[in-house]
Chains A and B, each alone.
Chain A
Amino acid sequence: MINTSTSMQAANARRWLRSVVAIFLKDWRSELRTRYAFSALGMFVVTTIAIILFSLGSEGAPPDALSGMLWVVIFFAAMSGLARTFVTEEERGTAATLQLLSPGSAVYFGKLLFNLALVTLLNVVTVSLYALFISGFVIQTGSIFAVTIILGSIGFAAAATIIAAIIARASTKGTLYPVLSFPILLPLLLTVINATRLAADGAFFQEAAGEFQLLISYIVVVITASVTVFDYVWKD
């Protein structure tokens, strides 16, 4: 008796996991076909870094300002691409089918994985371009910076996914996204900017431990809250 119920639970969990992966792969493949988000994000990063270079001219900026500006580039680039995940479902009229076929939490995690992949890619590209072209930006403690980028990407994706789900249902989708995201992302932004500053100043890894704790708890809180309320946004 107990055996069958646990095996049923395991089967359910497997099915749930399969839906998550399937939704992620579906989004990934359709992204590879159109390359909408890739090109939007890529062009945005190139444009913003070019503007920063133009505005700096031959002057250098202090490292503190540069580590803050890196996250300005990432924030606005992410805002231009991440909203698509749910908006495309509405535009293609596939939202209803997806609602029927898979549980809400599977949709949420599938979309979260896709956004995470996008943000990670975005961050890798942005950081490489930024380090390549902006000479004043030197990271002295690589380990702090690496952990900051990883945790920052997860946090960005977590907050961006639930806001994207909300605005997909609103009528003015494009302009509303940064407006709604900014207050939610601000705790994350302030923390990653602080951590990046520590990395640029060459602090010891332990000194950034408080920042990492904050980032991890932010991720846990936002994902938990999102899963709890996701059905109210997603289901009609």
Chain B
Amino acid sequence: MGLRIFLGLWLSAVIIFGFSLPMVAQPQHWYDLPIIPGLAEKARIIFFHVPTAWLSVLAFLSSLFYAVRYLRKKEPIDDIKSASSAGIGFLFCFLATVTGAIWAKFSWGTYWNWDPRQTSIFVLLLIYGAYFALRSAVEVEEKRASLSAVYAIIGGVTMPFFMFIMPRILASLHPEPLLNAQGKVHMNTMMLIVFLASLAGFTALYYWMWSLHVRAERIHYQRSQIHGGASRD
């Protein structure tokens, strides 16, 4: 309970600071954010877009981890954890795609132009979608768990190819203010603090949503074991 309120306050602070801190050319006060050339006020998206993108990948990796564990140990709880993580990852992946597209409209002039980053997030979205399509098509629980685990693994091993393929097709216009090729950080201390606070807050939010989801699903599962799978409402 206390942690939940703390998380709410934390994320509210991130939102307030993220939107209200002034952006100036020469930051002098502790609360000034620098103007990043070419981005200006649009750079504020980094506080919300990057954490969602980061979580969509983290949730997929966590889903993959529990998928492998399910195949090894065949514990139903691992399948619940894997599927719950994928569900939340899908949500964040969708948010990252939408916020990115809106930002692209104002920065690049179009919602969608198959930038390498857009393509790879789109494929992640497709893999999540296919994963849930597969889950809904298998009725037997054990079969559903192992089939979707296998699919997550096959998707997980082919995903990294995009890192090599995409640059060959189109140069990305996506800004990399945090870690660019030169390893230089364009952000000043204040911006970095808000960004990292947002990253931490969103990760905690993911963990909280995930553990809630796992608890609810576990109760559903136990009830269905008791009632012979009849009631699941």
List residues of A whose CB falls within 8 A of some B CB.
Answer: 159, 162-163, 166-167, 169-172, 176, 179-180, 182-184, 186-187, 190-191, 194, 210-211, 214, 217-218, 221-222, 225-226, 229, 232-233
Question: Contacts A171-B137, A229-B71: A222 and B127 contacting too (C-beta < 8 A)?
Answer: no
Q: Told that A186-B123, A210-B168, A211-B168 touch, could you supply 17 new A-B pairs with CB distance under 8 A? A: A166-B147, A166-B150, A167-B134, A169-B138, A170-B134, A176-B133, A176-B137, A179-B130, A180-B134, A183-B123, A183-B126, A183-B158, A184-B154, A186-B126, A218-B161, A225-B154, A233-B147
Partner of A225, one of B134, B137, B138, B153: B153
Question: Contacts A187-B158, A221-B157: A170 and B138 contacting too (C-beta < 8 A)?
Answer: yes
List residues of B whose CB falls within 8 A of some A CB.
Answer: 71, 123, 126-127, 129-130, 133-134, 137-139, 143, 146-147, 149-151, 153-155, 157-158, 161-162, 164-165, 168-169
Interchain CB contact under 8 A, B158 and A226:
no
Question: Contacts A187-B162, A190-B165, A225-B157: A180 and B151 contacting too (C-beta < 8 A)?
Answer: yes
Question: Contacts A183-B126, A184-B154, A214-B165: A169 and B133 contacting too (C-beta < 8 A)?
Answer: no
Q: Give Cα A223 to B169, complex, Å.
A: 25
Which residues of the partner chain B approach A163 to less than 8 Å between Cβ atoms? Answer: 151, 154
Query: Quick one: closest B residue to A193, CB to CB?
Result: B169
Q: Give Cα A218 to B163, complex, Å.
A: 13
Interchain CB contact under 8 A, A218 and B158:
yes
Question: Contacts A166-B151, A180-B133, A183-B126: A222 and B165 contacting too (C-beta < 8 A)?
Answer: no
Partner of A179, one of B133, B150, B161: B133
Partner of B139, one of A171, A179, A183: A171
Interchain CB contact under 8 A, A226 and B154:
yes
Question: Contacts A171-B137, A180-B133, A183-B130: A233 and B150 contacting too (C-beta < 8 A)?
Answer: yes
Which residues of the partner chain A approach B157 to less than 8 Å between Cβ atoms? Answer: 221-222, 225
Query: 6 A-B Cβ contacts within 8 A?
Result: A159-B158, A180-B130, A180-B133, A183-B127, A232-B150, A233-B150
Q: Give Cα A232 to B164, complex, Å.
A: 30
Most buried by B among A183, A186, A191, A226: A183
Q: Give Cα A163 to B164, complex, Å.
A: 23
Most buried by A among B71, B157, B168: B157
Most buried by A among B71, B133, B137, B155: B137
Q: Give Cα A217 to B161, complex, Å.
A: 9
Query: Quick one: closest B residue to A226, CB to CB?
Result: B154
Most buried by A among B129, B138, B155: B138
Nearest-neighbour CB distance to chain A for B190, whole angstroms, equals: 40
Which residues of the partner chain B approach A225 to less than 8 Å between Cβ atoms? Answer: 153-154, 157
Nearest-neighbour CB distance to chain B for A112, whole angstroms, equals: 14
Which residues of the partner chain B approach A233 to less than 8 Å between Cβ atoms? Answer: 146-147, 150
Interchain CB contact under 8 A, B134 and A232:
no
Query: Quick one: closest A residue to B148, CB to CB?
Result: A166
Q: Give Cα A171 to B126, complex, Å.
A: 20
Interchain CB contact under 8 A, A229 and B161:
no
Q: Give Cα A169 to B151, complex, Å.
A: 12
Which residues of the partner chain B approach A184 to less than 8 Å between Cβ atoms? Answer: 154-155, 158
Which residues of the partner chain B approach A210 to less than 8 Å between Cβ atoms? Answer: 168
Which residues of the partner chain A approach B139 to less than 8 Å between Cβ atoms? Answer: 171
Nearest-neighbour CB distance to chain B for A157, whole angstroms, equals: 14
Which residues of the partner chain B approach A229 to less than 8 Å between Cβ atoms? Answer: 71, 150, 153-154
Query: Quick one: closest A residue to B145, CB to CB?
Result: A232
